[in-house]
Amino acid sequence: MEDHIHYVSFLLKSVAAVCTIIAQTLPQTQHSNHTCSAMSLACSEDRTDNASVASVSIIGGGIAGLACASSLVEFGMDVRLFATGQRGVGGLLATRHFFAGESDAAIPCDTACQLFSASHPRFRELCALWEERGWVRRWPGRAVFLRPDGSCRDTQNSREVFVADGGMEYLARQLAVGISSAGASVRTQMWATAAERTRDGRWDVRWDHWSMGVSDYLVVAHSGKCAKRITSSPGLERCHAALKGVQLGVMWCVCFVFADRLGLPFEIGIVEHGRVLSWVGNQTEKLRAGSGSPSTSECWALLSSNEYGWKNKVPQEFVPAGKAESVAADMLAAFASLAKAQGCELPPVQRQYVQLWGAGPPSNTLQEADAVFDPITRAGVCADWCVSPCVEGAVLSGLILADLIWAHHARAPGAARAHHPPGQPRFEPSRRASAIAAFPGWLDPSTSSSSTVAAARRPVLLPGKATIGESCSSAGSRASRWRRAAHTTAPLEVSPAQIPERQQRRWARACGVRNDPALASDKTERPSTGPCLDKCLQMAVTVDELQPGMLLLRGLLTESAQQWVADAALEAGGAGKGPRPRSTGFYRAARGGGLELNAAQEGRGSFVRHLSACDPLFSEICLRCFAAAAAVASPGTLPELDAQACAFNFYEEGSRGIPWHRDIDETNEGLRNGTGRPVVSISLGDDGDFQYRAQRFDDPVQSLRLRSGDVLVFGGPSRGIPHAMTRVFPGTRAGTLRMVPGRLNLTFRHHV
Ligand X SMILES: O=C(O)CCC(=O)C(=O)O
Q: Which residues are near ligand X by CB under 6 A?
A: 647, 649, 658, 663, 681, 683, 688, 690, 706, 723, 725, 745, 747
Q: Cα dist. 354→246, 254, 302, 662, 675 in Å?
A: 26, 4, 10, 23, 23
Which residue lies nearer to Fe ion by CB, 277 or 638? 638
| Burial environment of residue 139 by CB neighbours within 10 A (0 to 12, 13 to 18, 19 or more) | buried
Which residue lies nearer to ligand X by CB, 213 or 605? 605
Q: Cα dist. 631→460, 531, 602, 618, 725 in Å?
A: 45, 23, 36, 20, 27
- Helical (H) or strand (E) element with 354: strand 349-357
Which residue lies nearer to ligand X by CB, 207 or 690? 690
Least distance in angstroms from the C-beta of 714 to Fe ion: 9
Q: How far apart (Å, rounded) are the C-alpha atoms in residues 503 and 732?
A: 36
| Burial environment of residue 310 by CB neighbours within 10 A (0 to 12, 13 to 18, 19 or more) | middle
With CB under 5 to 8 Å by kind, the binding choice for 725 among Fe ion, ligand X, none is ligand X
With CB under 5 to 8 Å by kind, the binding choice for 647 among ligand X, Fe ion, none is ligand X
CB 645 within 8 A of CB 750: yes
Which residue lies nearer to Fe ion by CB, 94 or 712? 712
663 forms part of the interface with Fe ion (CB under 5 A): yes
Q: Cα dist. 523→398, 512, 527, 532 in Å?
A: 54, 20, 12, 8
Closest CA to 168 of 332, 281, 72, 57: 281
110 forms part of the interface with Fe ion (CB under 5 A): no
Least distance in angstroms from the C-beta of 710 to ligand X: 9
Using CB positions, name the residue nearest to ligand X: 745
Which residue lies nearer to ligand X by CB, 13 or 723? 723
Least distance in angstroms from the C-beta of 561 to ligand X: 18
Instruction: Pick the piece of the chain touching Fe ion (CB under 5 A) from 34-42, 195-203, 218-226, 659-667.
Output: 659-667
How crowded is residue 589: how many other Cβ atoms within 10 Å of its Cβ? 11
With CB under 5 to 8 Å by kind, the binding choice for 681 among Fe ion, ligand X, none is ligand X
Least distance in angstroms from the C-beta of 681 to ligand X: 6
Which residue lies nearer to ligand X by CB, 350 or 681? 681
With CB under 5 to 8 Å by kind, the binding choice for 649 among Fe ion, ligand X, none is ligand X
Q: How far apart (Å, rounded) are the C-alpha atoms in residues 468 and 339?
A: 45
Q: Cα dist. 130→164, 175, 474, 639 in Å?
A: 9, 9, 23, 44
Least distance in angstroms from the C-beta of 721 to Fe ion: 9
Residues for the chain: how many in total? 752
Least distance in angstroms from the C-beta of 663 to ligand X: 5
Q: How far apart (Å, rounded) are the C-alpha atoms in residues 531 and 427?
A: 65
b/e burial code for range 396-428 (CB count within 10 A of at least 16 → b) = bbbbbbbbbbbbbbbebebbbbbbbeeeebebe
Spatial neighbors of 52 by CB under 8 A, at least 6 apart, are: none
Which residue lies nearer to ligand X by CB, 103 or 695? 695
Instruction: Pick the piece of the chain touching Fe ion (CB under 5 A) from 23-31, 91-99, 424-432, 656-664.
Output: 656-664
Least distance in angstroms from the C-beta of 548 to ligand X: 20
Task: State the binding string over 532-571 for Fe ion (x if CB under 5 A, else -).
Answer: ----------------------------------------
Closest CA to 641 of 499, 494, 752, 748: 748
Which residue lies nearer to ligand X by CB, 131 or 666? 666
CB 221 within 8 A of CB 85: no
Handedness of CA 732, 737, 743, 747 (dihedral sign): negative
- Helical (H) or strand (E) element with 215: strand 210-215
Which residue lies nearer to Fe ion by CB, 652 or 663? 663
Handedness of CA 393, 398, 401, 403 (dihedral sign): negative
Least distance in angstroms from the C-beta of 75 to ligand X: 42
Q: Kindly state the DSSP code that residue 651 receives in the 8-state scheme.
A: E
Using CB positions, name the residue nearest to Fe ion: 663
169 forms part of the interface with Fe ion (CB under 5 A): no
Which residue lies nearer to ligand X by CB, 493 or 665? 665
Least distance in angstroms from the C-beta of 630 to ligand X: 20
Least distance in angstroms from the C-beta of 658 to ligand X: 5
- Count the site residues for Fe ion by CB under 5 A: 1
Least distance in angstroms from the C-beta of 723 to ligand X: 6
Which residue lies nearer to ligand X by CB, 678 or 688? 688
CB 606 within 8 A of CB 584: no
Write out the residues near Fe ion by the rule CB under 5 A. Answer: 663
